[in-house]
Amino acid sequence: MVILFDQYNLPENIYEIIFATKQQVIVAKMLIEEMKNKEGEIGKTEMSMFATALHEGVEVEAMTNERIGVKKKVKISYNKRQFYDRILTPMKTMGLIDYDLYKKTYKISEKFNKNMMRIGLMWLQELRKPPKPFVLKKK
């Protein structure tokens, strides 16, 4: 997954940096909140039940007008397969969520933070490398 962001217009919300659509942002937030309510860890069956509930439709409170802060209840539904493909799998591959094969549980992870710091260090190493001669060949 590729994260593209504008350093001058960073959103306040991490989900808006990672996910492309508002619906994906809402679903990802809901998933993390669900996991936080269960002490940061949920089983495979609970994850399936969460995905099924989303597939059938869930009422959430959403901002309808962000400038004046108006919220209203909106029904949101998200295809179960797309939930796994576009929300859960990217969150696992980026290190936001871990899956324990033995316990068959999903757990909120701090690996994303560690990976971002590692990427920053890689950039600093690249900056400190001596320049290599580069020649443009003319045709």
Q: What is the pLDDT of residue 120?
A: 95
Q: Is residue 76 part of a domain?
A: yes
Q: Is residue 136 part of a domain?
A: no
Q: Is residue 125 part of a domain?
A: no
* Cβ atoms within 10 Å of 27's Cβ, excluding its own: 26
Q: What predicted TM-score, i.e. pTM, was given to this entire model?
A: 0.83
Q: What is the pLDDT of residue 68?
A: 67
Q: Where is 122: in which H helix or E strand?
A: helix 111-128
* 97: helix, strand or coil: strand
State how far the Cα of 25 lies from the Cα of 29, in Å rounded to an integer: 6
Q: Is the pLDDT of residue 1 over 80?
A: no
Q: What is the pLDDT of residue 2?
A: 80
Digit-coded pLDDT (tens) for 25-69: 999 999 999 999 999 999 999 999 999 999 998 887 765 556 666
Q: Is residue 122 part of a domain?
A: no
Digit-coded pLDDT (tens) for 59-99: 877 655 566 666 778 788 999 999 999 999 999 999 999 99
Q: Based on the structure, what is the number of domains in the chain?
A: 1
List of residues 6+ apart from 62 with CB closer than 8 A: 26, 71, 72, 73, 74, 76
Q: Is residue 131 part of a domain?
A: no
Q: What is the pLDDT of residue 71?
A: 75
Q: What is the pLDDT of residue 5?
A: 86
The domain of 53 spans 14-109
